[in-house]
Amino acid sequence: MISNIVFAILLIAGIGGFVYNAGKIRRNILLGRDVNRSDRKAERWKVMGLVALGQKKMFKNPLPAFLHLCLYAAFVITQIELIEIFTDGVSGKHRIFRADLGAFYTFMISFIEVLSILAFVATFIFLARRNLLKIPRFVKDEMTGWPKLDANIILIAEIILICFIFMMNGADEVLYQRKLSHAPYLEDNSFGFLISQHVGPLLFGGMSDSSLHLVERIGWWGHIIMVFAFLNYLPFSKHFHIILAFPNTYFSNLESKGKFTNMESVTNEVKLMMDPNADPFAAPAPAEGEVQRFGAKDVQDLTWKNLLDSYTCTECGRCTAACPANQTGKLLSPRKIMMDTRDRLDEVGKNIDKHGKDYDDGKSLLGDYITEEELWACTSCNACVEECPVNIDPLSIIMDMRRYLVMEESKTPSELTGMMTNIENNGAPWQFSQADRLNWKDEA
């Protein structure tokens, strides 16, 4: 009875804490400007299925993709086992579904154990890749401190979780063969979990009955505590992409990658200027609602999809590794753009919690987090967008902040200033009038 009450408290606290913190993230994301991503639903479901569920873009690099698939599959499939653990914890029973499911139950737990072993191996390889092999995209400046620690915490927690699973299953295997398990013994169906039937007797076969019960309970409680701890750690970690990858890919930008957005107010103004029937002396129509800033200076000026992107970022660095500007030594790192956006959004959210929504801390994403040099280094080639395994779009954030610099601050590099002056005066980027541009054809 006491264990049931303790489990119920853990269940309520664990899920309640996650819902509370996830709610804060949802609020932060909705601080962004509205953008319509409700069209082409069939295509969006297809993209989500291929990219988030099927991990299509990961398999450009087969070996890391396979290792990641092992972790991903283990995470998804083991949720089935959690259903039983939750039921056992509330009811006070043990392996409540085993008697009814029989051989299918044995198959499912065995399958989960195989996935867990694959995930165990993959986790050690990922730890080595991050800490021993010094792969360039994992040792960039933005990956020092917390980002590196965050990745290692999750990987180590994964190893501990798998150890608890095999403590539970292995000890239970030996207890079951001794007919001392909490689970009812079935004469016509041996326990027979594929891995535990070998690991259990090997590691725990020489223990006393009381010691086996202790090990099994440590494994069971350790497993569920790690699950609740992991659940509540997710909102503070890059690993929240485990959940957000699905909505983020569903709401992907389905337009051609070379297509840029235009501000509706600017478009309407240009159309009005080009309309021969428009009255040039007519007063402009009053603006509806709050006047939108040209471009983006802070996170509130970005769209909610941009902000969802920032929370979905896996910090894998594939975008930065593919960025031609970064490859040539320039300051730009698309991964850093996303990390800075998330960090600033978290800061804004904390200010709201402490001071209210209208509080101004005097800081902004542009300037305090992201520099002009980073923005102007971008070649707008879309390599970062193409490489991202969860369809994040750093370029749209870069272009919106550039738009702010040009249209509100009149700040452009000298090379661009000359080009725009030429376009204004000559109708082309070159310093020749339209009448002189074809003079080359008369040269001998």
Q: Is the pLDDT assigned to residue 284 strictly greater than 80?
A: no
| Residue range 357-374: mean pLDDT, rounded | 91
**More confident call, 261 vs 166:** 166
Alpha carbon distance 348, 359 (integer Å): 9
Tokens (6 digits) for 80:
């089935």
Task: Determine the residue type at 299.
Answer: V
Residues 302, 341 contacting (CB under 8 angstroms): yes
User: pLDDT tens, 217-239?
Assistant: 899 899 899 989 999 999 999 98
Q: Is the pLDDT assigned to residue 190 strictly greater than 60?
A: no
Averaging pLDDT over each range in 101-105, 139-143, 334-338, which range is the top one? 334-338
pLDDT at res. 229 = 92
Tokens (6 digits) for 146:
């917390």
pLDDT at res. 342 = 95
Q: Is the pLDDT assigned to residue 349 strictly greater than 90?
A: yes
Residues 183, 123 contacting (CB under 8 angstroms): no
Tokens (6 digits) for 282:
């007519």
pLDDT at res. 399 = 93
Residues found in the chain: 444
14-23, 166-175, 428-437: which range is least confident on average? 428-437
Mean pLDDT, the chain, integer: 86
**More confident call, 274 vs 139:** 139
Q: Is the pLDDT assigned to residue 191 strictly greater than 60?
A: no
> How many CA atoms are closer than 13 Å to the CA of 110, on its beta-carbon side?
14
| Residue range 401-426: mean pLDDT, rounded | 85
pLDDT band of 81, cuts 50, 70, 90: confident
| Residue range 37-58: mean pLDDT, rounded | 91
Q: Is the pLDDT assigned to residue 106 strictly greater than 80?
A: yes
Q: What pTM does this model have?
A: 0.86
Q: Which residues pair with 303 in a beta bridge?
A: 33
Q: b/e for 369-399, b at 16 or more Cβ within 10 A?
A: bbebebbbbbeeeebbbebbbbbbbbbbbbb
pLDDT at res. 286 = 65
pLDDT band of 159, cuts 50, 70, 90: very high
pLDDT at res. 293 = 81
Tokens (6 digits) for 96:
């409540």
Q: Which residues pair with 33 in a beta bridge?
A: 303
Q: Is the pLDDT assigned to residue 104 strictly greater than 60?
A: yes
Q: Is the pLDDT assigned to residue 136 strictly greater than 90?
A: no
Residue 264: name the closest of 235, 279, 249, 285 by CA.
285
pLDDT band of 186, cuts 50, 70, 90: low
**More confident call, 308 vs 181:** 308
What's the sign of the alpha-carbon dihedral 324, 326, 329, 332? positive
Residues 312, 240 contacting (CB under 8 angstroms): yes
Q: Is the pLDDT assigned to residue 128 strictly greater than 60?
A: yes
Residue 299: name the closest of 285, 310, 289 by CA.
310
| Residue range 2-20: mean pLDDT, rounded | 89
pLDDT band of 405, cuts 50, 70, 90: very high
Q: What percent of the chain has pLDDT over 70?
A: 93
- Three-state SS for the chain is CHHHHHHHHHHHHHHHHHHHHHHHHHHHHCCCECCCCCCCHHHHHHHHHHHHHCCHHHHHCHHHHHHHHHHHHHHHHHHHHHHHHHHHHHHCCCCCCHHHHCHHHHHHHHHHHHHHHHHHHHHHHHHHHHHCCCCHHHCCHHHCCHHHHHHHHHHHHHHHHHHHHHHHHHHHHHHHHCCCCCCCCCCCCCCCCCCHHHHHHHHHCCCCHHHHHHHHHHHHHHHHHHHHHHHHHHHHCHHHHHHHHHHHHHCCCCCCCCCCCCCHHHHHHHHHHHCCCCCCCCCCCCCCCCCCCCCCCCHHHCEHHHHHHHHHCCCCCHHHHHCHHHHCCCCCCHHHHHHHHHHHHHHHHHHHHHHCCCCCCCCCHHHHCECHHHHHHCCCCCHHHHHCCCCCCHHHHHHHHHHHHHHCCCCCCHHHHHHHHHHHHHCCCCCCCCCCCCHHHHCC
**More confident call, 371 vs 439:** 371
